[in-house]
A and B are shown apart, each in its own frame.
Chain A
């Protein structure tokens, strides 16, 4: 998971100037009854068959958008918040692929797919799935998770 941690840290430090580190996952955040989530998924295909997904509780996604745009008042709408999550997923997937070295470099990244609704983690089961690895992170106290699913 070091490669994912490093990819996440690099994105936040370069684009936002903030540290972002792995934290203990909080199952309460991902309970089906909890706040709405925004997720982005990118498939890596070819020499890899993996899906990289990021999942943000909506308040975390709004804070991410504000941080990326460098402002705290809302010159954005729901579409831009989803766009920010998609861009983050894109950069994390690309950074993870870069760190895996050959032959992962031959893998293609799909365009991000966005979904909204209850936490998809409630279906996956945090840190328990045989084919999904989940890593929890937080920036400025805002939690989110990254899932890597072997396809």
Chain B
């Protein structure tokens, strides 16, 4: 019989699956806003926020939702080589395989030949890793209205600069994602656990516990996932070493949260 702590631990694995998407009120509003923006004749949509605020999850969810109704292409990892980027787009969107080098001019000819009624949506995650030159080409591609780009950026000073330089004059929509509040974090944790039928562990999170987690993670989803994964790993370790009686299993103690934070590096001890 597997422990409840194993399944609870697995819930918080740092994976980006659309099925793991937790619907929170504020996040749902933002998501709906993003979906509406896709329908508009916008060239580019910028999704930005601090690392771990759920940008990738947003794109994943959007890809899953849109793929049933329209042509959507999602690139989780950036294609840093320019030729490779064009070749991949030509192959995926226009179903054109290109064996040799493909430059921007050649790719533009392929785009012009195509006469699709439906504008394909290209989702580019971690766009801050793209070079400035390639970002400029993406901007030019979006100007053709042959394809629509939804890109995610980490919100840093440098990335803001990129955004300003390349996308300032474009008709586009910007959506900012933020960390969760304490209340949202509690819902996030409990919803996540209950989705995996971990009701017992979901009830272990009291407002005090969640506040403690919030004070450590500042509501960052990735940090929270990491912390809770380690937390349940700790429970599992205590259980496996027959020391579970040493700790409180009715609610998550501050001591265990702090121990998990020390292990994950959220607390420098």
The finding on whether chains A and B are genuine partners in a shared complex, rather than unrelated, reads no
Which residues of A does B touch, CB under 8 Å?
none
